[in-house]
């Protein structure tokens, strides 16, 4: 390490060196392009949407400040290592796992997972200080070109690409276009940077060709620089596997639930090691890693029922992982609670019914909450192990009547459904039972959670009697 910066060669792996070389030859071009593009956009708004001019100019000023701050830190503090993480699914979890690992090695800027778009990444950059040695930034997209614009401000040195799924399919229209957007992170890397790529996703591993940066791969099915074999995760056991790297085997154990977290763990280990942390130290740090709330996080109720909350995101292509987790889990009885799914191209009803039918082989009961129940056909509606509840309040009453000590309940839905209340009510007071409040954040961050409200109450309206 040089001034706390990752450097040198360890176990045959070339690790990232002096960050001051990152994009220095392109800084002037980046500044010019960013400013020109932003002001051109603002001028177009002047003609067509005058009310947006002030907001656009403020965004431009913020982006310029962030880029200048990034350049200053890159030159004055070459010890800082800048890491960007993208992908259709799993980027938030990977960022958090990686941050928890690297923080055991040196000062690490813990990512704010809400600051991952073009308008908020500048805020994250401006939070970085000279004392930080690792900076981790989740890089998301919602329209074509977003990742490229973020990278022109962030100037990543290490780029991690998890996968290419169908999240944001509506905005992009095809997986090929989504892959092109994600590849912008790899393309932005300097020649002395490193791309950390998923060897099990053909669209991701192909991104190595878009950059002169060195490619490091992780995977399970295919040959990779960091490869997992003998992956197991039968709840209550966490993910564990044998890590193959550089001709050596390492035992990896975690407290994360579900085999689908194995790629996130592999990506985090590969990135931490590439960034200069000894591999054995990174593996040891994994034992203390905890999942993000709402992403396979565990809630143990006093009555002996355990909830696994996977209620933050629910892309349809990730549902087989949920079924796989339930199949492998060791529990007295298993209950699956399903809300709405997201980014579901094609025949949504058919896909939803197919998932339910596959899950019925492994569960005691399935509870479908809200509008998702309309996707069921008569055979499922009449099934004695399928219950449909129009509201989350009704689902809570139903579960209260059927759950027993030793049961495992898996909540799967999107954050806007707030299925988490089904678990929270068993460990803390819950007053709000609105069906759709319009708020897209966790209930733990909401001031209305304990304020009594029924399914049809609008946001902010209290039931008679006031707060309890």
What's the pLDDT tens digit per position in 156-192? 999 999 999 876 666 777 889 999 999 999 999 999 9
Confidence of residue 308 (pLDDT cuts 50, 70, 90): very high
Using the predicted structure, report yes or no on whether residue 457 has a pLDDT greater than 80. Answer: yes
Stronger pLDDT, 22 or 202, i.e. the higher one: 202
Confidence of residue 113 (pLDDT cuts 50, 70, 90): confident
**Check whether domain 297-445 has CATH 3.90.190.20, yes or no:** yes
CA angle 19, 35, 151 (to 5 degrees): 40
Using the predicted structure, report yes or no on whether residue 132 has a pLDDT greater than 70. Answer: yes
Using the predicted structure, report yes or no on whether residue 407 has a pLDDT greater than 90. Answer: yes
What's the pLDDT tens digit per position in 330-375? 999 999 999 988 765 667 788 888 889 999 999 999 999 998 888 8
Confidence of residue 258 (pLDDT cuts 50, 70, 90): very high
Omega before 236 within 30 of 0, i.e. cis: yes
Tokens of 265: 């763990």
SS (H, E, C) the chain: CECCECCCEECCEECCCCHHHCCHHHHHHHHHHHHHHHHHHHHHHHHHCHHHHHHHHHHHHHHHHHHHHHHHHHHHCCCCEEEEEECCCCHHHHHHHHHHHHCCCCCEECCCCCCCCCCCHHHHHHHCCCCCCEEEEECCCCCCCHHHHHHHHHCCCEEEECCCCCCCHHHHCCHHHHHHHHHHHHHCCCCCCEEEEECCCHHHHHHHHHCCCEEEEEECCCCCCEEEEEEECCCCCCCEEEEEECCEEEEEECCCCCHHHHHHHHHHHHHHHHCCCCHHHHHHHHHHCCCCCCCCEEEECCCCCEEEEECCCCEHHHHHHHHHHHHHCCCCEEEEEECCCECCCCCHHHHHHHHHHHHCCCCCEEEEEHHHHHHCCHHHHCCCCEEEECCHHHHHHHHHHHCCCCEEEEEECCHHHCCCHHHHCCCCCCCECCCCCCCCCCHHHCCCCCCCECCCCCCCCCCCCCCC
Using the predicted structure, report yes or no on whether residue 438 has a pLDDT greater than 90. Answer: no
Stronger pLDDT, 316 or 32, i.e. the higher one: 316
Check: CB of residue 387 under 8 Å from CB of residue 365. yes
Using the predicted structure, report yes or no on whether residue 307 has a pLDDT greater than 60. Answer: yes
Q: Which pLDDT score is estimated for 78?
A: 66
Architecture of domain 9-288: 3-Layer(aba) Sandwich (3.40)
Confidence of residue 449 (pLDDT cuts 50, 70, 90): very high
Domain ranges of the chain: 9-288, 297-445
Domains 9-288 and 297-445 alike in fold: no
Q: Which pLDDT score is estimated for 411?
A: 97
Q: Which pLDDT score is estimated for 6?
A: 44
Q: Which pLDDT score is estimated for 3?
A: 36
Confidence of residue 13 (pLDDT cuts 50, 70, 90): very low
Neighbours of 295 (CB within 10 A): 20
For residues 243 and 28, give the distance between their C-alpha atoms in angstroms, rounded to a whole number. Answer: 42
> Sign of dihedral through CA atoms 405, 444, 261, 254?
negative
Neighbours of 49 (CB within 10 A): 11
- Record the pTM: 0.81
Q: Which pLDDT score is estimated for 450?
A: 93
Mean pLDDT of 262-282: 98
Tokens of 126: 């401006």
Confidence of residue 30 (pLDDT cuts 50, 70, 90): low
Tell me the pLDDT of the chain averaged across its residues.
Answer: 86
**By CB neighbour count within 10 A (0-12 exposed, 13-18 middle, 19+ buried), where does 86 fall?**
buried
Q: Which pLDDT score is estimated for 212?
A: 95
Check: CB of residue 211 under 8 Å from CB of residue 161. no
Q: How far from the centroid of its chain's Cα atoms is residue 340's Cα?
A: 18
Mean pLDDT of 214-224: 97
Burial 55-73 (b: 16+ CB within 10 A, else e): ebbebbebbbebbebbbeb
């Amino acid at each position: 390490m040089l001034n706390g910066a990752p450097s040198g060669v360890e176990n045959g792996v070339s690790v990232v060196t002096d960050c001051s070389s990152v994009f220095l030859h392109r800084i002037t071009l980046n500044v010019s392009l960013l400013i020109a593009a932003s002001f051109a956009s603002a001028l177009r708004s002047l003609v067509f949407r005058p009310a947006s001019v002030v907001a656009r100019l403020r965004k431009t000023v913020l982006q310029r400040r962030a880029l200048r701050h990034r350049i200053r830190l890159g030159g004055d503090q070459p010890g800082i290592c800048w890491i960007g993480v993208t992908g259709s699914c799993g980027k938030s979890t990977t960022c958090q796992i990686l941050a928890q690992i690297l923080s055991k090695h040196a000062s690490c800027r813990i990512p704010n997972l809400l600051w991952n778009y073009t308008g908020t990444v500048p805020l994250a950059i401006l939070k970085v200080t000279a004392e930080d040695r690792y900076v981790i930034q989740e890089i998301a997209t919602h329209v074509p070109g977003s990742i490229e614009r973020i990278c022109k401000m962030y100037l990543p040195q290490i780029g991690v690409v998890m996968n290419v799924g169908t999240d944001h399919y509506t905005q992009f229209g095809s997986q090929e276009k989504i892959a092109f957007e994600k590849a912008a992170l790899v393309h932005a890397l300097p020649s002395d940077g490193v791309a950390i790529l998923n060897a099990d996703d053909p669209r991701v591993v192909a991104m190595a060709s878009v950059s002169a940066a060195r490619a490091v791969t992780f995977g399970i099915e295919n040959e990779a620089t960091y490869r997992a074999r003998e992956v197991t995760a039968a709840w209550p056991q966490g993910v564990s596997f044998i890590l193959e790297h550089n001709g050596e085997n390492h035992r990896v154990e975690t407290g994360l639930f579900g085999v689908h977290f194995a790629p996130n763990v592999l990506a985090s280990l590969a990135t931490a090691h590439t960034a200069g942390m000894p591999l054995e130290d990174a593996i040891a740090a994994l034992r203390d890693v905890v999942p993000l709330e709402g992403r396979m996080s565990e809630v143990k109720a006093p009555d002996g029922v355990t909830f696994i909350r996977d209620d933050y995101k629910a892309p349809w292509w990730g549902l087989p992982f949920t079924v796989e987790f339930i199949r492998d889990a060791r529990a007295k009885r298993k209950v699956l609670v399903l809300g709405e799914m997201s980014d579901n191209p094609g025949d949504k009803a058919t896909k939803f019914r197919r998932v339910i039918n596959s899950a019925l082989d492994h569960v005691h009961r399935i509870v479908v909450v809200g509008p998702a129940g309309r996707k069921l056909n008569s055979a499922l509606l009449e099934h004695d192990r399928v219950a449909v509840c129009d509201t989350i309040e009704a689902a809570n009453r139903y579960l209260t009547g059927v759950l027993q000590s030793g049961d495992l309940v898996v909540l799967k839905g999107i954050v806007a459904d707030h299925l988490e209340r089904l678990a929270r009510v068993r460990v803390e007071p819950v007053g709000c039972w609105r069906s759709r409040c319009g708020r897209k954040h966790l209930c733990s961050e909401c001031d209305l959670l304990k304020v009594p409200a029924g399914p049809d109450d609008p946001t902010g309206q209290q039931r008679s009697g006031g707060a309890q």
